Structure 1
Amino acid sequence: MFSSISISKLLGICDKNLKLIGKIYSKIIKGVEYQVLEAIITYIPSHCPHCKIENKNYSIVKNGNQIVKILLNRTCDNPVMIHAKKQRFFCKNCKKTFMAETNLTDKGCFISNNVKKSIIDNLSEIIPMKVIAKNHYVSSSTVARVLRSTESKNNKCWLPDVLGIDEFKSTKSVDGSMSVNLVDLKTGKIIDIVSERRKRFLGEYFNSYNNSIRNNVKYIVADMYPTYIELAKILFPKAEIVLDKFHIVQLFTRNMNKLRINEMKNFKTYKHEYKMMKRYWKILLAKEWELESIEFYKCMGYKKFTNSRGIRDDILSYSNTLKEAYIFYQEVLSVIERKDIEGFKNLLNQDINKIPKCFGTSIESLNKYKKYAINSLKTGYTNASVEGNNNLIKAYKRVSFGFRSFRNMRIRILLRNRFKIQKNGKSESLHCETDFAA
């Protein structure tokens, strides 16, 4: 037969002063069936919490009890609740009463700390807060309070050697609806999330760090947003600015795609040329050396067997302008892929009149930040981990149908950043102490 101690261990109850009594029975509360356990919490207090007088010669005596409810984690998919009789004590010295304490809950709260830990564990996963509240039989506001209890101040005593900066679509409460994600590119961990990307706000944020800390930053990886580059020059004088390789390629990719659309519109919508240029647009944007040239297969719109390289040749035969632009576009991709600095300089130094018109603006933009673009080939640093974290933020926003509060969004993202997701699907805290506030 199981004892009350073994049942306590099974339920995760570690309070030695709590003793289970009676039998387990079912009770319906607000339409939900709970498994209820009866218990008593009592002990001999060592001193009075009010006057601090030690309990000697029966100076503190028992003075009745009070029934309290304690919500535990589910067992067998059923919520468990303890109806505990808390001992009341009376101090003869100060004539005041006090209640027995338990480490299962915080003072004045009926939700156990184990439930709060489980809520925090779920908050580190991509799960809507309403679903978390439903699974733990608490309200959404309770989940929000538990989330805010994990909020911690950002460490202003450290910045990484390689700092990645990029913006993402934030909440409506933020002016401009754009926030900034700061990431340590060596570890891929989020350092902090700044509410706005405007120069004044970012300047105030980075100025909160000491000069010695900012001087330790060696590289800053960002896109061509002028604010990032201007602030990096002023506030990080010893750091080298690196343009993100992805945004460099994106400049030319967008121009190439716009040209394809313009050339496609020269044909009627029912023409074969129009359909092929619309259906196989990805082939024109792909790297030439990655196209299939050996194996042949059946493709939509072709009666004969062909491959991606054959489709590319057919599309380029429809327009000489598109063909010239494609050749230049592939030269750019090849130079960046091989990290050919001299070849990249030669492309930027070409006469704008001799290159396809669609790439003129991109070449001028890169010439404006030529030194920083070359640094991207020299160092090899990219904002890949920053973009990955941005996708994670988008996933949180999607499952939550958006966030009303920027603070809640920031806390939840940083909370996941402090948790390590194991292969078995469980999450384990990275030695982070959480103060549970009711």
Structure 2
Amino acid sequence: MNNNIIEIILNKDKNTNYQCDFDEINNEYIITVEKTVIPKYCPVCNTKMYSKGIRTRRVRHPILNNGKTILIHLKQRSWVCTNEMCKHRTTDEFSFVEKYKQTTNMTDLMILNELRDLNLTAKQVAKRFKVSDTHVYNIFDKYVNIERFPLTNVISIDEVFTNFDNDRKYSLVIMDFMTNKPIDLIESRRNKYTDEYFSSIDIEERANVEYLICDMYKPYFNGSLSNNVDEVKLKMFLFFMLQYQAHLSLNCSIFYIYFLIIFLLSNF
């Protein structure tokens, strides 16, 4: 592999030595990286430190254009202060990878670039870069900040299964009912998340919401949605009425359903 490519991946880390080999069985490059051994002094008391040995970390890098992957064997030397009153401990640090992470920093940027393709799911991106889909979600949350759209006079809410973790299995989608355009996505439908979210919105904007369309999930009515959206008219039965019509196989056109909704909104 080209040395310039290796130096870019390693972020031209100072005092770093590397050796590159190719594993034909796994079709991947193996780069062994370690720091040049130089005298090291304690950052706390400025006393000379001594090495306690080397631990090898396995760090992965995304695929190259030729389809091959990179596995970095990172040899980290641990150091201990010789001052008996201090005994400060530290390890070698590398600029191209964060502490405890199993992928290079460049991986995050490549995943973000891949997420620009709206046809790809987080699971597909995770499989391509050999990481978990949770890792992809965390990267997106860390680097991407999408501002929400303002609340409209008729909003609809519904949950979607995202399964971020046990506390955030279902996220809450807020949409403009009249235009069918998304307004925002709350990471969880639980009250402690929705309370904080709606409380952060200016009271004048919340007062503009006249109708809320949702299902009969109890926290929607006992929690932040009914408390924070002033004098909102809850159309909880609307979803179930349309569902009931579909169950009875009534031959209703889209226009009929649309005008029925408008009628209900104007006569609540």
Do both share a fold (TM > 0.5)? yes
Distance 1:188 1:371 in 2: 26
Tell me the CA shift for residue 161 of structure 1: 3.9
Distance 1:25 1:207 in 2: 52
Pick the aligned partner of 1:113 from 105, 116, 125.
105
CA–CA distance in structure 1, aligned partners of residues 202 and 250 of structure 2: 44
Distance 2:103 2:216 in 1: 49
Alignment correspondent of 2:5 = 7
The correspondence for 1:237, drawn from 225, 230, 236, is 230
Task: Specify which of 23, 27, 39 is matched with residue 27 of structure 1.
Answer: 23
Counterpart for residue 394 of structure 1: none
For residues 101 and 86 of structure 1, what CA distance do their matches in structure 2 show?
8
Does structure 2 conserve the Cα–Cα contact (< 8 Å) formed by 1:34 and 1:80? yes
CA distance in 2 between counterparts of 1:46 and 1:184 reads 60
Query: Is 2:157 the partner of 1:166?
Result: yes
Q: TM-score w.r.t. structure 2 length?
A: 0.60
Structure 1 residues 127, 54: CA separation in 2 closer, same or farther (over 3 Å shift)?
Answer: same
Secondary structure in structure 1 of the residue aligned to 2:62: strand
Q: Aligned equivalents of 2:18 and 2:215: distance in 1? A: 67
Which residues of structure 2 form unaligned runs of 5+?
Answer: none
What amino acid is the match of 1:192? I
Shift of 1:79: 0.6
Show structure 1 runs of 5+ residues with no match: 261-284, 288-328, 337-361, 373-438
Cα distance in structure 2, aligned partners of 1:211 and 1:19: 48
Higher Rg: 1
User: Are the aligned partners of 2:125 and 2:136 in contact in 1 as well (CA < 8 Å)?
Assistant: no
Could you say which residue in structure 1 is the equivalent of 2:194? 205
Contact kept, 8 Å, 1:20 with 1:37, in 2: the verdict is: no
Displacement after TM superposition at 1:26 (Å): 1.2
> Tell me, what secondary structure is at the counterpart of 2:205?
coil
For the 8 Å contact 1:74–1:80, the answer to whether it is kept is yes
Contact kept? 1:27, 1:34, Cα under 8 Å? yes
AA matched with 2:134: A
Structure 1's 169 and 88: CA in aligned 2 closer, same or farther, altered over 3 A? closer
Match of 1:17 among 14, 28, 50: 14
Q: Give TM-score, length-normalised by structure 1.
A: 0.41
SS in 1 for 2:103: coil
Q: Which residue of 2 is the match for residue 307 of structure 1? A: none
2:27 maps to 1:37: no
* CA pair 220-102 structure 1, distance change in 2 beyond 3 A: farther
Tell me, yes or no, if structure 1 residue 136 matches structure 2 residue 129: yes
Contact residue 68 and residue 84 of structure 1 kept, 8 A = yes
**AA paired with 1:82?**
I
Q: Are 1:147 and 2:137 counterparts?
A: yes
Letter in 2 for 1:167: D
How many angstroms does 1:32 deviate by? Answer: 1.8
8 A Cα contact 1:162 1:221, kept in partner: no
Q: CA offset at residue 73 of structure 1?
A: 1.9
Q: What is the distance in 2 between the residues matched to 1:143 and 1:19?
A: 32
**1:299-326 per-position Cα deviation (integer Å, ceiling 9, x unaligned):** xxxxxxxxxxxxxxxxxxxxxxxxxxxx
Q: What's the C-alpha RMSD, in Å, of the aligned pairs?
A: 5.2
- Counterpart for residue 104 of structure 1: 96
Inter-partner Cα distance in structure 2 for 1:65 and 1:221: 64
Task: Give how far 1:35 is off.
Answer: 0.9
1:238-275 superposed Cα distances (whole Å, 9 cap, x missing partner): 66x698xx98xx79x979x7258xxxxxxxxxxxxxxx
Classify 1:207/1:225 alpha carbon distance in 2 versus 1 (closer, same or farther; 3 Å): same
SS at match of 2:96: coil
Cα distance in 1 between the residues matched to 2:32 and 2:184: 45
Say if 1:48 and 1:126 are closer, same or farther in 2 by CA, change over 3 A. Answer: farther
Structure number with greater CO (CA < 8 Å, separation at least 6) is 1
- Deviation, 1:102, is 1.1
Q: Which has the higher strand share?
A: 2
Distance 2:201 2:21 in 1: 64
Separation in structure 2 between the aligned mates of residue 192 and residue 166 of structure 1, nearest angstrom: 10
Q: Distance in 1 between matches of 2:69 and 2:130?
A: 7
Identity, % of aligned positions: 13
Asked if structure 1 preserves the Cα contact closer than 8 Å seen for 2:122 and 2:136, the reply is: no
Q: Is the 8 A contact 1:207 1:235 kept in 2?
A: no
Question: Structure 2 vs 1, CA of residues 182 and 214 (structure 1 numbering), >3 Å: closer, same or farther?
Answer: farther
CA distance in 2, matches of 1:286, 1:165: 18
Task: Tell which deviates more after alignment, 225-234 or 81-90.
Answer: 225-234
Partner residue, 1:192: 186
Q: How many residues align?
A: 244
Deviation per CA, 1:183-211: give whole Å up to 9, x if none: 47898442415437xxxx59x93487449
1:71 aligns with 2:65: no
Cα distance in 2 between the residues matched to 1:189 and 1:259 = 31
Q: Which has the higher helix share?
A: 1
Aligned partners of 2:56 and 2:156: how far apart in 1?
54
